[in-house]
Structure 1
Amino acid sequence: MTLRRKRFAERRAARGYSQEDFAEALAVAVSTVIRWEGGRATPRPHQRPKIADLLGITLFELEGLLVDESPAEVASPCDVAALGHGDDDDMRRREVLGLLAVTGALVALPGSDDSPRGRTDAGLVVNGEEVHRSLWQVFTLSDSKQTVFPAVRRQLHALTTCLAGVQTDTDRARLCTMTADLYQLAGELFFDANRYTDAAQCYTVAAHAAHAGGEYDLWACAMTRHAYVELYAHRASAAQPLLAAAHRVARQGDTALSTRHWVAAVQAEAYAAMGDIDACNRALDEAEKVHASDGRSGNGGWLRFDGSRLFEERGACYLRLGRHDLAEDALTSALAQPLSLRRRAAVLTDLAVVGIHRRDVDQIMHYAETVIGLAGQSDSGFVGKKLDGLREHLAPLMPDDRISGLDHRIAALSRTA
């Protein structure tokens, strides 16, 4: 049993649960709990919130109990400095960007034929992919996304060190794939902090690393995320060529995965931004085909598109196209589904915008008030940016005291960046 898995077992016992009691509370076999505590298996993402609740800890603290001690060890729960403001935060950001520059060079310029070859850090090669899946799970389940930043930063250090060392061709390809995976997560963290240029740089290196590792789906996803940065910055014309290339790359990938359907969903947003409703609907119809695909549609990490987002994405597209009735129908359907904090905030903000076009102050206040509460919970730059976008539409209704008060409250919110 590793040190951290021993702490997992000790925490379970300290809470008064035997292995049998713990298994019964989670509706799993006792052998499953034994395997978790022995380090031979890891709880699935949907099981972790319940486990954390039983142990009386946060999801991030649970992550610390599940990841094995290794050179690629994730940060401890107390090491949770976020990617925000101040000299220390700028230093952390520069550190990651410096790693990005080194990694980009190592991916593009492998060792020469006369370089010594050997095996790289066995712990990272064997356990690194599991660590990355865990980091994505923490990122997905956390209301405040920045809590995962220190762990990502540590893992990037480990990967860069391994890429710079001696390795076999097989290990190098695997390390490139892991690098592409982790830099997409780093890009997501920069995006959540409203650092779009930094996010785009991460996605660019991720795309190059995925290409070097021969992973087409990973490559297409990195390009799609890069395109989304351009869309969010209102640069649909810059997003289009990225998406067209991502579409071509995705066609070379695994047909059991949903990569090509996700590319189509983001293409629909680009067409909506350019006012092309026919092309938008065709792309949305293509994205809907994810529901008919066999096998796994996502992997729980860098690819999570399973069609559950299509209502909100269709609603966002119709809102951009000025089809407010269609937008409201799709967005209301989206609210009926389980949504993460960020996704719920985005849907509610879009519904508030629909209210603005109708001059329905009650609707605006109802949805906007909820989003302000969510912004306070998450300190997410993404949610703050959505509220800033809402303010841009409020001008015609400013004579109403409630609207002017809402405008002041949004302006007073703290921002991650």
Structure 2
Amino acid sequence: MLLGRSNDGYIYLFTDPVRVLAVDDDPIMREFAVAQLSHPGGEIVTAFDGQDAWQKLQSDERGFDLVISDLEMPRMTGFNLCEEIRADARFRDLPVVVITGRDDTFAIDRAYEVGATSFVAKPVNWRLLGYQLRYVLRACRTEHGGSSAPPSAIAAPPAQAAPHDLLPALSREAYKHIAAIEHAARGLNGPSAEDLLETVEELARMLKRATSIADVAAGAIAETSEEISLAGLLNERARTAESAASARNVAIALERPPALWRIEGDRRLLTQALDLLIGKMAASADEGSTLRVSAAAASEAADGRAGFEIIMSAQGRPLPEDLDGALLLRIVEAHAGELTIRRTAAAETQAHLVLPAARPTKQPIAKLTIAGFA
């Protein structure tokens, strides 16, 4: 897809050659796919139904980077094609983007159940579809170590080596529950409907967290780098959290660090990380207790450089292991930081977050240590 032209030449949506298998029984849609997605070095191969696509997947020795498929087709539907792809170990990690009606919730649910990676609604906005395909490819390649080889040619890593591989499945499950509960709530009135809608909102938050984790892990969120006052950031986030904490009768006591202490990173992501950590600490603190927040100079950050340590402590329950914690860790990882959570013998939870004073070019993986949890 041609995006425009610069002094250096033409600008295309795909910066690397991509092989796409476009499956649709409508010849016009197949022509559109070739015309809209073609780019230098890439190849758009078409198939007229699921059976034709399955034969090409099995016989093509070069392999494909992704599949775009309509759902309702003769001989073999897009649903059946997804099932065949996921049942074959060679194609288990091959991204499959399906095209469906905008309001066809049943088709969307079923497509995710049989293994679709993502979907796009009709009528197709080809530019938006192109950006979505680029994101899906980038996320897939990041999960497999940045390799540009087709997913079918890459051995799947052990599940325990890549815990965020579960995120797509979790997102699909959350979406199914949201759709089902929302449908049921529409036919109810009174407290029962309100309870259901609250559940829908909670599931929606889960899905948003899962999506954010996947985005950060895949590098899909555009990060900026700027110098940030540690004192200003902590003061701002502590004040923001005071309202929710006071509702549980939990006080937040901030010991402001020196004004000259500065960290470097993405302000939006670091703000989100501190909100998550302060929120989790306050929510787990005993009623009537105090959440203490301070900072200290750290002699060594995760990558061996000088940094700053943010320290939080409160009497209360252990922090739960949930999606908020997973997202927090991903953001810390993106900033080459280190997070340690401890439980003391006095039933106090302590969180130690170390952030380097300047972000490295190559970001090492963050460490999460949980010690002394009951």
Per the TM superposition, whether the score is higher than 0.5 is no
Larger Rg: 2
Q: Whose helix proportion is higher, 1 or 2? A: 1
Which protein has greater RCO, CA pairs closer than 8 Å, 6+ apart?
A: 1
